[in-house]
Amino acid sequence: MHIQMTAEPIVLTYDDFCALPDDGRRYEILDGDLYMSPAPIPFHQRVSANLNDILRQHVRRNSLGQVFYAPVDVLLSEHNIVEPDLVYISKANIGILTDKNIKGPPDLLVEILSPSSAVRDTRDKRNIYARCGVPWYWIVDAERRSLIELERQDNAYLVTAELSSDTTFLPRLFPSLAIPLSSLWE
* Domains held by the chain: number: 1
Tell me, yes or no, whether 147 lies in a domain. yes
Tell me, yes or no, whether 2 lies in a domain. no
The CATH number linked to 124 is 3.90.1570.10
pLDDT tens-digit map of 136-149: 999 999 999 999 99
Tell me, yes or no, whether 129 lies in a domain. yes
The pTM assigned to this predicted structure is: 0.92
Q: What's the average model confidence in pLDDT over 82-96?
A: 97
In contact, 73 and 99? CB cutoff 8 Å? no
Tell me, yes or no, whether 55 lies in a domain. yes
Rounded CA separation 139/150 (Å): 8
Domain enclosing residue 81, as ranges: 14-185
Tell me, yes or no, whether 4 lies in a domain. no
* Whole-number pLDDT of residue 4: 66
Tell me, yes or no, whether 6 lies in a domain. no
